[in-house]
Amino acid sequence: MTSVPIALGPARTTLLEQAIAAGGGTVADLDSARALVWDGEPDGFPERLPDGIEWVQLFSAGVEEWFDSGVFERHPGVVFTSAAGAFANSVAEHALMLLLAGVRYLPEHIRARSWRQAEFFPHVGTLRGATVTIVGAGGIGRELITLLHPFGVRVIAVNRSGTPVSAPGVVETVPAHRLSEVWPRTDHVVVAAPATADTRHLVGKAELAQLKPTSWVINIARGSLVDTDALVQALCDGTIGGAGLDVTDPEPLPDGHPLWDLPNAIVTPHDSNPPHLRTAAFADHVTENIRRFVSGHDLIARIDIVAGY
C-alpha cells in the first residue's frame, strides 16, 4: 500500500514523525499533503489550507478555543479530529485519586499535626456500594467506570444521547436532558463532559442543593462546567462534602481564592495529563487515526461542528 503524505506542524518532532510513519503515512510539505497533524494551539494555525488537505488532527482534547478562534468556520470542507480519548487513562486515574482522597477524608488527614482519630472517624467514608454519576461518559468517563468497578461502585452514566453504556458497574444510562433527575439519588458526581454553551454551569446552586452533605463533586473536564461561586458557597455551608478540582473557573485559580483555603476542597493545577504523558499518548492517537485514514475507516474523535465538540 502506498503511504499517504501527511504534513506536520507547526514544528516537526521525531516522536510524531515516527507516529505518522507507523500509521502508514509519510511526512510531507503542506502543499503536497492530504492531511495535517497540528501539534499546536489555534494561534498560528494556517489562515488557508491547500485544497488537497482533507483532514486535520488537533493536539487538544477540548476544542472550545478552536471554535472561538474561527478555524473551523474558515475551513468548512475539512474534517477535524480532536485528541478526545487519547488521554483517558491519565485523566481517569486522576479523577479516581481526587474522589478517593475526598471520600477518605485525606485533606484533613494531611493537614493534621496531632492524633485526631475520634474526630476523623465520622467523616471517613467508602466508595464500596456508593452510587457515582459520571456526567460525560466518553473516553475518560468509560475509563473511569473501569477503574471504579473493583470498588463495587454503582455507576450512573450520563451521555448526550442516552445510548446505554454497557460496562460492569453501570446500573443506568441517562440522557443529558434528564440530568436533573439524577442529583437527588447519587452519592458523588464526576464531571467529564465537553465544554459548550449548553454545558456552562451544568453544576450550579440548584444542582448542588440536591446533593448529599457527604457528596463529593469532581471536575476533570473544564472549569466552566461548574459555577465556582455556587460551589464555594456549598462548600462553606456544608451543603456537599467537598470538591476535587483539576480545572477551575477562572483558570489559573488566583492566589488568595477561597478554594485554596477551604478544608473540603482539593485543587490540582490542571495536571491530570502532564506533558510527558500527554505527548506519548497523542503520538499513539495519531498513529491510530492515520492508520484509519489510510485504510478509509472512520476516524476517532471527529469533531461535530454543530454539537460544539
Give residue 1's pLDDT.
60
Residue 265 is placed in which grid cell? Answer: 476542597
Torsional sign, CA 85, 87, 88, 89: positive
In angstroms, rounded to a whole number, what is the distance separating the alpha carbons of residues 200 and 184? 21
CB of 153 closer than 8 Å to CB of 169: yes
In angstroms, rounded to a whole number, what is the distance separating the alpha carbons of residues 104 and 111? 14
Kindly state the DSSP code that residue 253 receives in the 8-state scheme: P
Give residue 254's pLDDT.
98
In angstroms, rounded to a whole number, what is the distance separating the alpha carbons of residues 269 and 92? 16
Active site residues: 222, 251, 270
CB of 248 closer than 8 Å to CB of 228: yes
* 88-267 has CATH 3.40.50.720 classification: yes
> In a 3-state reduction of DSSP, which class is residue 278?
helix
CATH architecture of 4-82+275-295: 3-Layer(aba) Sandwich (3.40)
Residue appearing with cell numbers 489559573: 252
Torsional sign, CA 229, 268, 284, 157: negative
Residue 203 is placed in which grid cell? Answer: 453544576
Comparing CA positions, the residue from 219, 200, 40 lying closest to residue 140 is: 219
pLDDT tens, residue by residue, 245-291: 999 999 999 999 999 999 999 999 999 999 989 999 999 999 999 99
Residue 29 is placed in which grid cell? Answer: 510539505
Give residue 2's pLDDT.
74
Burial classification of residue 296, based on how many CB atoms lie within 10 Å of its CB (0-12 exposed, 13-18 middle, 19 or more buried) = exposed
In angstroms, rounded to a whole number, what is the distance separating the alpha carbons of residues 5 and 20? 9
> Could you state, in order of their start, the residue ranges of all structural domains in the chain?
4-82+275-295, 88-267
Largest CA distance in the chain: 70
Quickly count: other Cβ atoms within 10 Å of residue 14's Cβ: 7
> In a 3-state reduction of DSSP, which class is residue 22?
helix
Edge-first strand listing for the sheet containing 154-159: 170-175, 154-159, 131-135, 188-191, 216-219, 242-245, 265-267
Asked if the domains 4-82+275-295 and 88-267 are classified in one and the same CATH topology, the answer is yes
Residues of the chain falling short of pLDDT 70: 1
